[in-house]
Amino acid sequence: MSDPLILLGLESSCDDTAAAVVRRLDGRSEVLSSVVIGQSGLHDAFGGVVPEIAARAHAEKLDVAVRQALAEAGLSLSDMDGVAVTAGPGLIGGVLSGVMCAKGICAATGLPLIGVNHLAGHALTPRLTDGIAYSYLMLLVSGGHCQFLIVRGPEDFSRLGGTIDDAPGEAFDKVARLLGLAQPGGPGIEAEAHGGDAKRFSLPRPLIDRDDCNLSFSGLKTAVLRTRDTLVQEFGGLTRADRADLCAGFQQAVCDVLADRMRRALRLYLGENPAQPCVAVAGGVAANMQIRARLEQVAGEAGARFVAPPLKLCTDNAAMIAHAGAELFETGLRHDMTLSARPRWPLDTTQAALVGGGRKGAKA
């Protein structure tokens, strides 16, 4: 048995300040602690994440998160073998806060520094939670990301496609706002959709049947807006049934788009990797039971295993960064004090940049 590797991870690329301790031994990682300090209250009045406010909150809370993560793991900095930090992509002030904090810890302790791509953190999460082997197909689906990736190694990704405008979570949030539901919008829309008639309104399925794996959600969001405005014009407002039917119709349309694109991505992936039929999802939208069940069904029809990590590791956290850092550490990767914070950092540099930015800033 080899010696365990214990890494401290830091994440601050959007609106969660997170620190975690992960131990890796014989090819399996274990989360010893994972602390996430959210900022939702700070941005509520602005209808979105304000980068400068986020960056200041990260700078204030990173040391709190680190102390708490170490305490919950029952360890100190002297027990660590390295510090992994999100070095991009994301809101630059937040990423800088994390990178500066990690550099400070490494300068003071002499620990090695490992800069991690936030998207790689998400993409490698199924290896942390379920120990799945390379290669696999990954769908990142959140408020800030939406892309299909073939994951072959900690630094080996091919992007099959992604959103050309909004991320799906962003569409859930915008639709919730225009229907007067709370933020973040996903859980509220899912709850309203339960009693709704998904067939009452005819909503588009953008890009469906196109011969690639790209997605689009902004036209769907606009169609919901138009339908709402027509109802308001004709009847003076929305009834509870109108709202439920719109939510159900919207959710059904997102499901149909994701399922169609997933089918296509799986076909491409399985053509290349017939011996590894496995698909994983991560991101807040994967919490939606209808979407999750539909994607699981698509995977089943293609004969592929479906892996959906527990929600707290699907959404932004530092355990995924510590785990990805540990895999990179094992490849021999080390950074030094010249490590830069990057607002953009595509996982697959052979592909043209995606046009869509996502609510929380351009990701790749």
Q: Can you tell me the distance from the alpha carbon of 349 to that of 187, in angstroms, rounded to the nearest whole number? A: 34
Q: 142 labelled as ligand-binding?
A: yes
Minimum CB distance to ligand KG4 smaller for 240 or for 312: 312
Q: Is 64 assigned a ligand-binding role in the annotation?
A: no
Q: Give the whole-angstrom CA distance, residue 117 versus residue 29.
A: 18
Q: How far apart are CA 1 and CA 322, in angstroms?
A: 21
- For residue 104, the minimal CB distance to ligand KG4 (Å) is 26
b/e map of 220-242 (b: 16 or more CB within 10 Å)?
bbebbeebbeebeeeeeebeeeb
Based on the shown chain and the rule CB under 6 A, indicate whether residue 288 belongs to the binding site for ligand KG4. Answer: yes
DSSP three-state, residue 281: strand
* Distance (Å, whole) CA 283 – CA 296: 15
CB-neighbour burial class of residue 110 (10 A; exposed 0-12, middle 13-18, buried 19+): exposed
The amino acid sitting at 113 is L
- Binding residue for Zn ion, selected from 316, 319, 327, 341, defined by CB under 5 A: 316
For ligand KG4, the closer CB: 73 or 203: 203
Region of 47-55, 237-245, 267-275, 313-321 interacting with Zn ion (CB under 5 A): 313-321
Cβ proximity to Zn ion, 18 vs 304, nearer residue: 18
Establish whether 181 is an annotated binding residue: no
* Minimum CB distance to Zn ion smaller for 8 or for 286: 286
Q: Of 2-10, 284-292, 312-320, 323-331, which segment contacts Zn ion by CB under 5 A?
A: 312-320
C-beta separation of 103 from 67 below 8 A:
no
Binding site for ligand KG4 (CB under 6 A): 14, 142-144, 169-170, 172-173, 184-187, 190, 283-285, 287-288, 315-316, 360
**What residue numbers does the annotated binding site cover?**
118, 122, 140-144, 173, 186, 190, 288, 316
